[in-house]
Structure 1
Amino acid sequence: MATVAAAAVAATAVTGLSGTPASAAETEVLAVDFAQRTGEFRGGASGTLYGFGDEGAPTQAVINGAHITNSSQKAPYGTQHPSGDAIKIEDGFFDKHGQDLYIYVQDYYPEWPYNGGRRPGDDRTYDQATGTYTEEPNGVWDFLEVTEFVAEAVATDSDRPQDYVFIPYNEPDGGNWYPDWANQKDQFLADWQATYEKIQEVWDRHGLGHARIGGPGDTRWQPQRSEDLLRFAKEHGSLPDIFIWHELGIDNLATYRQNFADYRALEQELGLDPIPVNITEYGMLRDMGVPGQLVQWFAMFEDTKVDAQVAYWNYAGNLSDNSARPNGANAGWWMFKWYGDLEGSETVAVTPPELNAVDTLQGIGAIDEANKRATVLFGGTGNDVTLDLSGLDRSIFGSAVDIEVRETTLNGAEGLTDTPRVVKALDGVELGDGTLSLDVPVYDRYAGYQVVITPDGARDVEAGAAAQPWTASVEAERMDLTDATVYTQDPQANGGWKFLASGGRDVGSFNKATSRADWTVEVPADGTYRLQVVGGAPGIPGRHALFVDDTASGTIQYAADLALNANSRWQYRGSAEVLVDLTAGEHLLSIRSSEDGATVLPNSDITLDKVSLTSVTDESTVYPATTFRLEDGATLNWANGSDRGSAKLQGEGRADLYANAMETGYYDLAVDWSSTKTSSVELVVNGEPTTELTSTRKGKWRSSATVHLVEGINEIELRSPDGATVQSLTTVRNRGADAAAVSIEAEDAVLLGSAAVTDLAESTGSNATGMAYVGWVGNGADNAVELPRDGFAAPGDYDVTVYYANAELSGDHDYNPQVVDRLLQATEDGTEVGHAYFRYTYSWDSFSQRSFPVALATADQPLRLGNPDAWAPNLDRIVISPRVIGDPTTARR
């Protein structure tokens, strides 16, 4: 067995990403046998419960990149939540990877538990055309009328009714109508039959064939209840099409596999063919956004080839706390993305140190023979890991392989997380007998890792990894602290009802004028660096002062984070970023609660979790073809030659990649590609045709175009109808090009109707520029903001970036904020040219950004922003940016 333990990436500082929090006490072994196949990759664990709010919340790039295959949403016209109506979000869900859209029929009711926790009687008469009712009986069970109305809405209003699954009952064994099985079994079974038949009746009425129905939907694996339902349903022709229960607690990481085995054994005992399973809620607060936790759940569900949906603990529209900001990734999102990248593969046998054990090293292995790409995902341990790899067939991979290891570390639920870095790269490792031993240093037990193994390609992976921008990080508890307290965040405390901290600890009680956290760091060169602070601002925006070498060097401005209750207050962490110029050498970076040492800054009592510093002087990120998602016939090319490892595009073939931007602005998109004749590569960015890179003859090319990208995840699609091979796409930040954008303070725009300026006091700690915003926009066509065409007079394609606040809630819930996504519509000369929904920002004083495309047809008609039907978000600043600057360039390479 070859041992490949060298080549940790030099671009990562010693104080940086690999193994920082603590020296590993030991090394754990994860064995992966690529010769032992365990079935086609299912990919079903990437489901969500209420992960979607309204259209664009989350954004399409975030949805597609996370590869969401199934989701449970609110019933059409339901009142349980203000957003998340299944029919309203179906276009975004089915855009690329969505397969099954589930609806909770009981979400018609506004209360939790449903209908006050009581099974309805016959107290109402429903109008099936509108879903409204009068308070009088009509001889029909009320919920049966609701079921008919919901099924009819899907049958008539959805474009894809056949892709829906109805869940008539959610957690019936809990507080929802049927908890007393001994006395309520017969009632539940009769009700199951009635609702099952009613849904089928509606489907028959519309000629839709068989409607898929899921259940029972119990809060946990319930052997007796499950057996009773299956026996009854088999006898009465009402077997569920999807068998459903929940796996929520910490210990479920140890018990799920046995529960699943018991379920399959029950099917055999009853003479039933296997029924597909969906675990429609899994995981606790502590698991959300945490790659090292999520991979443990993914591994179990992928092993058993079931679908599963992360639980809904906070609010709709953020993939159950697995995305950041309106359009960004947190670390958990990247684990979703990596998991989705396995589509088209076969899974292989993985042997962890211990199976069915809580909070331990677990992993997924997969091989894509068509593209000669093997992948391992792992996490869950704080110890370094040795991957014991076997079964790497030389007939697939050749005599030598390239290996890249990427790492994503916990950055808080709202912490913007950049494209995972390569932390180990090995070029041309001799394969020998198909076995390798690979040592990977681990950051901490909450980090997640992706290992990609391919044949030895033309790209030098070691050189590419070494060329990454320099970065370093430090856990807040390891900084030199004054008047602040280190708190341990036990991952198993409070039954998992908590959010985790990187390294297991954070720093709080940062509430004195003398509170400070100091970090001595050595930077390699003169230049500009991005300081990122991960911390929790509880429900209000706040500020810290940044000092460099004891000289005041700016303000660290935090947006508000969720502070719904003790489970989220100070623990639901986001990130703040600030640019700082440094000279080569050692510097003392100091984060302080006060600028003068005597007066605390507004809302400075913010928890600190982790601080990082990254060079942005030449900020670039390489996305190699070996990490592309290849669709519609596109493949990796492993023929001998200088294009080995490139993506071969032809006809409808498409490559998808998901590029992160830490800042909204302009980036040079540099594509290395080859053609055998006159050809082109077409780029579609965030769903909008953007530019075409062309060659006039055979050759190897580097083409570049200056394109506007938005903060967070940007979906980039590559096509070449005439044929090309693409080696990589590189994003290079071009701050100089930002001058092409026009920034307009909302208070300086033309205000119409009720739209009015509000000034903010410094004591709010707000991140509004100029400490003012425009509110009372919308709720009528005349209440709007107009932007004269100064600086963007040319017709064409633009991105509109809106800095906004929206803290509207509607309705009550025991533990979920009932958030309202506010719509903003852009019109030109009375015609809509674009719109977007704007998600929750936690506070009316806290402003986030959201971008959407517009196509302007005139040179002089103002751009009007408003909402004729409801209130729009409050507006701080609007930036209008041409989507592309100049013409693309192509040169030989």
Structure 2
Amino acid sequence: MWNYLPILQAAVDKIATTSAHPEDYIFIPFNEPDGGNWYPNWSTQKAQFLADWSAAYNTIQQVYASHGLGHAKIGGPGDSTWHADRTTDLLTYAKANNQLPDVFIWHELGTSNLGTFRGNVTQYRQILQNLGIADISVDITEYGMLRDMGVPGQLVQWLSMFEDEKVDAQTAYWNYAGNLNDNTSRNNGANGGWWMYKWYGDLAGSQTAKVTPPHLNVTDTLQGMAGVDTAKKKATVLLGGGSNNIALNVAGISTATFGTSVNVQVRQDRLNGTEGASLQPPVVLSTTATVVGGQISVTVPNSDRYSAYQVEITPATMAAQTAATDLVNTTEAENTTLTDATVYTQDPLRAWNTMASGGKDVGAFNKADSAATWTVNVPATGTYRLSVLAGANQNPGQHALFVDGAFNQLLKYSADLNWTYRGTTDATVNLTAGTHTLSVRASQDCTTVLPGADITLDRFDLYNITNGEQATYPAIDARLTGGATISTTGAASLSGSAGATFFASAAETGYYDVTTQFQTTGASTLGLSVNGRSVQLPAATTAGTWNATARVFLPQGVNELVVTAPNGAAATSITTIRGAAQKASDADTTNVYRALADTLPLAGTAVVQTVAAGSNGSPDTSGTVKDVGFIGNGAGNTLSIPRPTGFGAGDYQLVIAAANADKSNSINYNPQVISRFLNITETGAGTTTASFRHNYAWNSFWDKTIPLSLATSGGTLVLGNPTAFTPDINNVALAKFVAGTPTIAPGS
């Protein structure tokens, strides 16, 4: 304790002297002071804590005063749980000494807090009133348990509660750094939690509407929140946490805003594991309703307590999307026919568990006859994507996929944090119309267990992608800037600097046809920005309805698409598609240069390594997976990518399949993971730096897409880092950002 104040002083001084906005910081001098390592015994340590509060408070204020910055904002006490007695004592003392916190802070953790939080806030506000203290805003700086993170049906309960009480809150940080507290997946990806927060963020600008759930202040029950955006003519309800169909009654619908008939669209956001890649949540219900007495009723189809739903109500004059039909089968692993494997119940009341789809999963899948077998009914002959939700424990692994009793292909899983910290693995399968038997097995030959086969299986989803992976993002869901407005037809009216931002999710890295649908009253040219990079679209020469399409190389995961129209236009939607034509562009060597890292020029300590068995990396012609390690930690230790003919100056995407399992010594329950950095230097031009988050194992490779704007006609790309080691690299791909020439055609 003796050196805390000097450390506090130095930290605050750094903010005061180096931040461009020191007035925006809130300093929290104590974290969980009620914990065992601080002041757990209030009866004997209260006086010490109050004295220490004064010392910390005064130190912070003195630093700001010495720099002429005025009052420094201070938050506290930061208790690990709500304490009415400690709160009363601190506020009484702080008021008497003119040391009241600017923000009042405590934590809401555990499984019961969804039922007790509102009562705690009521008690807090009563304490303020009793002491004659003006309102001090609340910030819950840690909420939720491991079981809640990444789970839409859990997160919606927390968000509804905080929105209802109008307090700020931040999730607890339980695992690895680099994935927004378990609410994003791998590199650049969205899981179910990401979409839940995205939906919540989309309510910005709305007027909060009152929501009455069946049971208030009861843990793990149906809860929700709602907002009305009159400018967009859209009402949104976010709800989830129950396990039955939801009877939703909506009152107060203004016919002046919505008309007498409305579209009702429901999207489902499912639990898809922490490292699972979730695409745009599908429409599960699309219908119309007549407004009677300002009210409508709709039944939201639901049987999954871990899902959340977005219900959008818009005027019937706006275009409506139909319900998705691409998911043709979903089967829980525990409901398959199992051989030599064990079903485990993942009790949702265990706070330190990660949730499983359906509440159960299948493990002990580590013997030569271990298998999970199920039947699917395929509606049409075509191409299908099998997505397996599974957990690989700190190492990648493999399973054999059998179709109708015949070996089809190996499933290669990326490493995960543990058996229940799940991710998705996809495989493309050609199937004929009718019934088929699918089987995932730990052995290909029924004798030899595949490397890393001890993987937890959670759910199998089968999607029809015969016509390509397609998604449409309507303008009504775009985020508008610069004065953009939504018309009565649901189009975004753009002119000047106005823009509409869409968030498109790609199932895999590669070329997609990105089509912007828009209308003009005369000649006009749209601007399209993809992840901050401009794509030149052709002009519409006359008034009409148009589709402007560019074939753009997108990274797997979330992509930000911004549409502008300086001369005016009405953007109705953006559609993305990846199918056979787009994959052919991937394979066209005039568009994409690919190479295994071990075939590229090395320098210094960079060395080719044979990767441990079970890897998901790309093998060489002998079937051996290799990578290049010990790149960096010295300017001469490099891997080089010579640019082939035809890859001159211009915009590119560099895709690097990399592994990084670097960690430092443990400090607490959070693994001390290390991000590694890679410099890409174009010989004769500049350097781009990319970061690579920890991905659990040195033989597990994730694709990282790095945007490059190359300035020379053929300068070699040199990969390295003069001061630290880079990740290990299995393969690289240099892709032209846009393939071919964008086109424009009349739309419908």
Instruction: Give TM class, smaller chain.
Output: over 0.9
| Match in the other structure for 1:63 | none
2:483 matched residue in structure 1: 633
Instruction: Give the alignment of 1:321-720 within 5 angstroms.
Output: 321-427=182-288, 429-462=289-322, 465=323, 469-493=326-350, 496-563=351-418, 570-618=419-467, 619-638=469-488, 644-720=489-565
Cα distance per residue 1:606-626 (max 9 Å; x no partner): 111000111222221010111
Corresponding residue for 1:182?
A: 43
The superposition leaves residues 320-343 of structure 1 with CA deviations (integer Å, 9 ceiling, x where unpaired) of 111111211111111111111100
Partner in structure 2 of residue 30 of structure 1: none
Q: Quick one: distance in 2 between partners of 1:868 and 1:207?
A: 41
Q: Secondary structure at the match of 2:264?
A: strand
In 1, the alpha carbon distance for the partners of 2:644 and 2:541 equals 38
CA distance in 1, matches of 2:64, 2:356: 49
1:33 corresponds in structure 2 to none
Which residue among 639, 642, 649 is the counterpart of 1:788? 642
Cα contact 1:518–1:590 (8 A) shared by 2: yes
Q: How many Å separate the matches in 1 of 2:448 and 2:498?
A: 61
Q: What's the offset of the Cα at 1:356?
A: 0.2
- Equivalent-residue separation in structure 1 for 2:435 and 2:655 (angstroms): 37
Partners of 2:617 and 2:390 lie apart in 1 by 16
Q: Does 1:742 align with 2:593?
A: yes
Aligned length, in residue pairs: 736
Q: Quick one: which amino acid aligns to residue 724 of structure 1? A: A
1:140-172, Cα deviation, whole Å (9 max, x unpaired): xx2111112111222233333332221111001
How far is 1:831 from its partner?
Answer: 4.4
Q: What is the DSSP-based 3-state SS (H/G/I as helix, E as strand, rest coil) of the residue aligned with 2:571? A: strand
Matches of 2:660 and 2:99 in 1, distance apart?
45
Amino acid at match of 2:341: A
Residues 35-89 of structure 1 show CA distances to partners (whole Å, capped at 9, x for unaligned) of xxxxxxxxxxxxxxxxxxxxxxxxxxxxxxxxxxxxxxxxxxxxxxxxxxxxxxx
SS in 2 for 1:191: helix
| Cα 1:604/1:264, change in 2 over 3 Å | same
CA distance in structure 1 between the partners assigned to 2:686 and 2:116 by the alignment: 53
**Unaligned stretches of 5+ in structure 2?**
none
Per the TM alignment, residue 229 of structure 1 is displaced from its structure 2 partner at its CA by 1.5
Aligned-residue Cα RMSD (Å) equals: 1.5
Given that residues 409 and 443 in structure 1 are in contact (C-alpha distance below 8 angstroms), is that contact kept between their aligned partners in structure 2? no
Which stretch has the larger CA shift, 365-374 or 194-203? 194-203
Q: Who is 1:105 aligned against?
A: none
Identity over aligned pairs, percent = 49
Identify which of 716, 730, 751 aligns with 2:602: 751
Q: Report deviation, 1:349.
A: 0.9
Matches within 5 A, 1:265-304: 265-304=126-165
Q: Distance in 1 between matches of 2:129 and 2:677?
A: 51
Deviates further, 575-584 or 359-368? 575-584
Say whether residues 1:799 and 2:653 are aligned partners.
yes
The worse-fitting range, judged by mean Cα deviation, of 171-180 and 382-391 is: 171-180
Matched letter for residue 528 of structure 1: T
Name the residue aligned to 1:23: none
Give the unaligned 5+ runs of structure 1: 1-119, 122-141, 564-569, 639-643
Query: Residue 512 and residue 317 in structure 1: after superposition, are their counterparts in 2 closer, same or farther (change >3 A)?
Result: same
1:153 aligned partner = 14
> C-alpha displacement at 1:767, in angstroms?
3.4
**Residue 489 of structure 1: how far off its partner (Å):** 1.2
CA contact (8 A) 1:170 1:176 kept: no
Could you list the per-position Cα deviations for residues 744-780 of structure 1 after superposition, in whole angstroms to 9, with x for gaps in the alignment?
A: 2111111111110101243x44435441000001111
Partner Cα separation in structure 1 for residue 326 and residue 213 of structure 2: 33
What is residue 94 of structure 2 aligned with on the other side?
Answer: 233
Paired amino acid for 1:816? N
* Structure 1 residues 123-162: aligned runs within 5 Å: 142-162=3-23
The separation in 1 between residues aligned to 2:96 and 2:522, in whole angstroms, is 66
Query: In the alignment, is the contact (CA less than 8 A) between 1:542 and 1:602 conserved in 2?
Result: yes
Task: Give how far 1:591 is off.
Answer: 0.6
Shift in Å at residue 603 of structure 1?
1.2
Structure 2 residue 668 is matched with structure 1 residue 823: no
Letter in 2 for 1:488: T
Deviation of 1:792 (Å): 5.4
Deviation at 1:887, TM superposition (A): 2.3
Judge conservation of contact 1:776–1:872 (CA < 8 Å) in 2.
yes
Offset, 1:696 = 2.1
In 2, the alpha carbon distance for the partners of 1:807 and 1:792 equals: 36
Q: Say which SS state the counterpart of residue 351 (structure 1) adopts.
A: coil
Q: For 1:480 and 1:448, how far apart are their aligned partners in 2? A: 29
Deviation digits for residues 218-271 of structure 1, max 9, x if unmatched?
000111111121122222222111110000010001000000111111111111
Q: Report the Cα offset of residue 689 of structure 1.
A: 2.3
SS of the residue 2:539 aligns to: strand
Q: Distance in 2 between matches of 1:241 and 1:792?
A: 60
Q: CA deviation at 1:736?
A: 1.8
Cα drift, residue 829 of structure 1? 2.0
Q: Distance in 1 between matches of 2:399 and 2:691?
A: 31
Distance in 2 of aligned mates of 1:689 and 1:161: 34
- What's the TM-score once normalised by structure 1's chain length? 0.81
Q: Is the 8 A contact 1:375 1:451 kept in 2?
A: yes
Query: Tell me, what secondary structure is at the counterpart of 1:492?
Result: coil
Query: C-alpha distance in 2, partners of 1:821/1:725?
Result: 43
Q: CA deviation at 1:208?
A: 3.0
Q: Considering Cα pairs closer than 8 Å and 6+ residues apart, tell me whether 1 or 2 has the greater RCO.
A: 1
What CA distance in whole angstroms lies between the structure 2 residues aligned with 1:706 and 1:555? 30
- 1:882 & 1:167 partners in 2: Cα distance? 48
Q: Secondary structure at the match of 2:147?
A: helix
TM-score (norm 2): 0.96
Letter in 1 for 2:317: G
Secondary structure of residue in 2 paired with 1:461 = coil
SS of the equivalent of 2:211 reads: strand
Q: Match for 2:175: what amino acid?
A: N
1:787/1:863 contact within 8 Å kept = yes
Following the alignment from structure 1 to structure 2, what is the Cα–Cα distance between the partners of residues 799 and 792? 15
